[in-house]
Chains A and B, each alone.
Chain A
Amino acid sequence: MLVDLGPIVTGFLLIAVSTCVGVYPIKKLITIQEAKHELKHGSPGFLRSFSGILIIALWFMATWFFATIIGDWYNTDDLAGAISRSRHRLEILLRILAAFGRD
Chain B
Amino acid sequence: MIENPPIAQSDLRCATCAGQCAFTPTTGQLTCHSCGACHDIKIDRSTDPTIEHRYDPALPHTEQPETTPEHPYGCETCGGEVIFAGHSMSENCPYCDGALVERLRDESYPTLGMIPFAIASDTAQENVQNWVAKRWAAPSDLSSHASRSRVAGIYVPFWTFDSHEAVDYTIRYDIRRGKRTISKTHTGFMNHYFDDLLMPASDHITPLIRDGILHDFNPRDLRPFNPAYLAGFAAERHHLSVRQGLKNNAPDKALLLRNRIKSHSGKSNITNISYKTDTTGIKYRRILLPVWIMHYEYAGKPMKIVTCGLHGRTYGERPFSIPKLLALAVLAATAVSIFGFLWGAGGLY
Contact = CB atoms under 8 A, between A and B. Distances in A.
A15 B330 CA distance: 7
A71 B322 contact: no
Contacts of B332: 22, 26
A32 to B, nearest CB: 11
B341 A99 contact: no
Nearest to B343: A68
**B interface, by DSSP: helix, strand, loop or mixed?**
helix
Contacts of B251: 44
A44 B215 contact: no
Nearest to B208: A45
Interface in B127-153: 135-137
Most A CB contacts (10 A, CB to CB) among B259, B322, B340 go to B340
Contacts, number: 132
Interface string B287-321: 00000000000000000000000000101000010
A14 to B, nearest CB: 6
B212 interface: yes
Given A47-B259, A102-B271, A14 B211 contact: no
Most B CB contacts (10 A, CB to CB) among A22, A33, A44 go to A44
**A interface, by DSSP: helix, strand, loop or mixed?**
helix
Contact of A71 (B207, B210, B320, B340): B340
Contact of A19 (B212, B256, B326): B326
Contacts of A99: 269
Most A CB contacts (10 A, CB to CB) among B251, B338, B341, B349 go to B341
Contacts of B256: 44, 47
A23 B322 contact: yes
Most B CB contacts (10 A, CB to CB) among A45, A49, A60 go to A45
Give the interface size bracket for B toward A. 35 or more
A74 B329 contact: no
Contact of A66 (B211, B334, B339, B340): B340
Contact of B341 (A34, A43, A67): A67
Contacts of A18: 329, 333, 336-337
A11 B343 CA distance: 14
A74 B137 CA distance: 35
Contacts of A14: 333, 337
Interface in A57-90: 60, 63-75, 82, 85-86, 88-89
Contacts of A49: 208
A9 interface: no
B329 A26 contact: yes
A72 B349 contact: no
A79 B210 CA distance: 53
A27 B320 contact: yes
Nearest 5 pairs between A and B by C-beta? Answer: A67-B340, A71-B344, A45-B211, A68-B344, A22-B329
8 contacts: A11-B337, A14-B337, A26-B137, A34-B136, A39-B315, A48-B208, A67-B337, A67-B341
